[in-house]
Structure formats: C-alpha cells, structure tokens
Structure 1
Amino acid sequence: MNDHYLKKLDRVTAILTQLQSKPLVRAQDLAQKFDVSVRTIYRDIKTLENAGIPIIGEAGSGYSLMDGYKLPPVMFTKEEVLSFITAEKLMQKFSHQSLGSHYRTAMEKLRSVLKYSDKNLIQNIEKQIDIFNYHPETEDHIKDILPIILESIAEKRQLTMEYKTNEGSVSMRTIEAVGVFFEFNYWYIMAFCTLRNDFRQFRVDRILQIFKTQNPFLQEYGQINDYRQSGNGNKTIVKLLVEKKIINHLSNSKKYYGLIDEKETDEGMELTFETEWITDGFPRWLITFADYATILEPEILKIRLAELIENISAKHQKTSADL
C-alpha cells in the first residue's frame, strides 16, 4: 500500500471520528482541518458510504451519522493515551471541584475500552507525572455549581442567584450566563445581569445560592471573549521601562493588565499598556516589581505608586513601634 492510500485511510478514519463526535459536520470545515480540497472530502464521504456507514446529508449542507447508529469503540494511539493521563493530572489539580468527579467517571469509562497493553502503559506511567499547584484551593457553597451554570447556557435559561460581593454585601441577581472562565486561581461567570442591565463577571465561590429558572434568555450572545471586560470603561495609556532580566517573570500577567505593545531598547523593555485600573489594580501590580521598572507615563501613576509605598511604609513602621 503506497503513501497516498495510507494518508487517505488515516483521513477517512479521522472523518468518521468527527462524524461520531459532532451532530453536523461541514465539508468545508473538514477540508480546512485536513488541508485538502472540498472535492477530496466528498470522495472520502462516498468511501464511507460505500463501506456501509449510514451518513445523512449532502454536499453544501453538512453530514451526520444516522440517529441510533452505533460504532465499536475507537482505538486510541499510544500518544493519545499518554495525553489522557496528563490531562487527568491537570484536571485533578486545576479543575473545579464540581467537575472533578464527573471527569473521573469519564476517565474510568475511557480506560475500560483501552487495549490491555495501553492499560499497562497507564499503570506504569501515571505515577511518574505530577502537577504542582502552589495556589490555595477555594471552596464553593454549592455542590455541582458549574454543571448548573453550563446547563443554563446550553438551554438558554436564566439563573437567579444570591451573590456576596467583595465588600460583604449580599444581593439577589437574575443573570443570563454567557460562559465561564478560570483566571488567577478563581472561576468566574461572564453574564448579562438584568439588575444592572449590563454585562458583569461574578466569582463562583461568592455565590451563596443559585437556581436555574424556566425563563428563556432575552437576547442572543456571542462567544465569552466578546464580553470580557473590567473597570469603568475609561482607559489610560501607561508606558513602563522594565529591566530585561525580569521580563520573563511578567509573561503571564502583563497581557492581563492591558499590554498593547512591547519593544526592546538599549535601556530595557519598553511596555505600553491600556488600562482601566490606573488608580488601584495597575499600581498594586506594578509595586510587585517596581524596583526593576521606571514609569515613563502618566504622571498620575507615579503619584499613586508613591502614595501606596508611603502607606505601606507607614503601616509597617507603626507595627514595628507597637511591638
């Protein structure tokens, strides 16, 4: 069998996997995924039909497997099995507690269809992989809270919840959840809040009660990243000159704080930000590496940083005097 037919066999098998995992698959999407022409995908679909696979659909609309048709379990490659083990370790450390038990159950089902040799591979290697997490775990008031939220998104049903703010006040909110995201060791909901008539993000561990209602969404929503926002909407341009030796330590946070440009100079790395947190969030982040940075602009950031340093110094001087 020559290389051409081996590639076709691999591609046809992968197309069958796509049909098993999605309700509708477009030929254009398959062509892009496998880097072939749409006409080639049409021929591959015909190959599957000739092999007795009951495919519904036609060129131009999309394809799906006949409802109720079952295929034997898919055989996994060794590389795929190893990726499952690593993913399981990540889920154990970083997944939300309301998803952890469901993922473990899913992994047990997956292990049950593996070849004997692959089961041995898992047993031999899983104790050699670990993920070290230095962040404290958060506890939620409600069991299975993330599945409730995700179900409401899928069903496009409103949620009502009792929410505790950072200041400690409690209020009832009706929201239409757009999505969930994980950031800086916390899970958040991005949602349209009917009380504020605007989009808000809510920390999941601050939800005291939550209920899925029968009320449908009032509007359609896009992807979660279309709505990620913070602050009051008034953005300020900030320019910093940062010593090159610490720039790698900022790689995970500088984009979060609004990095829009970065260029290397003889004196260091010149970073440009667009931030809405000029009086609080940004200067508090900057203070963590302020001895390696110079504020180029604006003047208000220099003043605010000086105030923070003065307040911190005064507080610790008072604590030392009390001791």
Structure 2
Amino acid sequence: MRRADRLFEIIQILRRRHGATRARDLAEALEVSDRTVYRDIRDLMASGVPIEGEAGIGYVLRAGFDLPPLMFTEQEIEALVLGARIVESLSDAELARAASDVIAKVEAVIPDRLRGYMSNTALLAPPGQFMEPLRFDLAELRRAVRQQLKVHFRYTDIIGQASERSVRPLSLAYFGPVWLLAAWCELRADFRTFRLDRIEDFHVEPERFRHEPGKTLTDFLRRERPWTRSALNRPDDEEAG
C-alpha cells in the first residue's frame, strides 16, 4: 500500500469508529508495524488533521473534519457504483470487500447532494448470478498476476485431457459464466488461455518472472484478437498441441 493511501485509510478508519482506536488495531488493519502507525499519526497531526489522543490510549478524529469533496457527475457515480457492484457479485470475497470499501470511501467524501444519489442509484448487479465454480482461491491468482509470480496447476481441457502447467499469469478476464487466464505457458513455450473452472491443484510458486520481449501481455494482445474466442471455442486452448 502506498503511504498516501495508508494515510487516507487511517483517516477513514478513525472516521468510521466510535471511541478511541489503538495504534495496534490500526496497524493490524493496515498490515504495518505499530511504529509506522505512530509516525503516520504524527505526520497527519502535523499537517493539520484534527486527530486527538496518544500512544497507549488511542486516537480519535475530531468531529466535523472532512476531506475536500470529490467532484463526480451523476454518470460517473453510476459507472463507479455499477462497476463496484458487479465486482462484489462476480469476484472472490477479498475483491468483493475491496469493492464495498471503495463505495464507502467515496460516499464519505462526496458532497451531500450526491451522497443520496449514489446510495439510491437504480443500477444493480444482483448476487447469485451464475458463474462456473472454481476449485481454488481467485484472490491468490490475482496476487500472482499483480506480483509477477509463476503459478502451477493441473489443467483439464474440454475433451478431458489433463496436463501439468507452469505459467506466467498475465491477465484475467470475466466472460460470463467463465473466468479466463491469459498466460505464457512454459510447457508449450507460447501464449495460452485457460478457463479457470478447469484448473485444479493450483498453487503460486515463489519464483518471480520478469517481463521479457515477446512474452508480455502487450505481445499477447497484439496476436490474439479477439483472444476470448480461442479460449472459449478451442478443444484444449492450444493452437499447436
């Protein structure tokens, strides 16, 4: 988490909680050390944020403090809310919580005249929509994409043939009712797309990979247009066996 994001999150946590919040609780929520929280609190107070309290007792945000309002149009709010609700409905629990937090953060800082509109917008993404079930934690695959970590899994294609794969995950895309992974496959020494619902025995490897010419997401997208067709319709997601 960037420091600017962490400082903003401290303010949001203090805003939402009643009573004093201990530095230890803030540290656990932000996954940092107590010492980092003390330093951040000190810097926020020095910049004029009305935080009261002290180490060992806890901190509170003085009532009435607000961040400068974000300027959104009604259409921008609709796009934000609908996108977040779709993520809540069709992703893993970790990303769903993050989407909910996004809505809460924006509601906390936008002008009053738009807050009610945001809460009552009629664009919905009802839960329980059909999605092919996954046998592993999607959050772990997202982490691998984000941190450039190789992943290993057993893959069964549409005609029932199984193979072991070690890949460089490049991108995830949802095309209802399936999630797709675009990756550089080390077994085939080429780009491949995989349906996540056909993946088993998934684990993230500790080995990081560097983006090499010819093996990047940009290279993949140049070659596969539209790449979804290959993943959804090919017998086993491979062009050359």
TM range (shorter): 0.5 to 0.7
Under a length normalisation based on structure 2, what TM-score does the superposition of the two structures give? 0.54
Give the total of aligned pairs.
167
1:101 to 97, 100, 112: 97
Is residue 207 of structure 2 the alignment partner of residue 212 of structure 1? Answer: no
Distance change in 2, residues 1:135/1:104 (3 Å) = closer
Match in the other structure for 2:195? 203
2:183 to 191, 199, 212: 191
Match in the other structure for 2:77? 81
Match in the other structure for 1:268? none
Distance change in 2, residues 1:230/1:78 (3 Å) = closer
- Structure 1 residue identity aligned to 2:183: A
Deviates more, 1:185-194 or 1:157-166: 157-166
1:162 to 142, 151, 154: 154
Segments of 5+ residues of structure 1 without an aligned counterpart are: 1-19, 22-67, 232-254, 258-275, 281-323
Report the Cα distance in structure 2 between the residues aligned to 1:122 and 1:230, rounded to whole angstroms: 35
Deviation at 1:91, TM superposition (A): 3.2
- Structure 1 residue identity aligned to 2:191: F
Does the Cα contact within 8 Å between 1:158 and 1:216 map onto a contact in 2?
A: yes
Deviation at 1:194, TM superposition (A): 1.0
Percent sequence identity over aligned pairs = 15
**Higher relative contact order (Cα pairs below 8 Å, separated by 6+ residues):** 2
Distance change in 2, residues 1:73/1:134 (3 Å) = same
Q: Could you say which structure has the larger radius of gyration? A: 1
Structural mapping, 1:20-169, within 5 Å: 72=67, 74-79=69-74, 80-93=76-89, 95-98=90-93, 99-123=95-119, 125-126=120-121, 128-131=122-125, 136-143=130-137, 145=138, 147-169=139-161
Deviation at 1:197, TM superposition (A): 1.7
Cα RMSD of the aligned pairs, angstroms, is 3.8
Distance change in 2, residues 1:199/1:110 (3 Å) = same
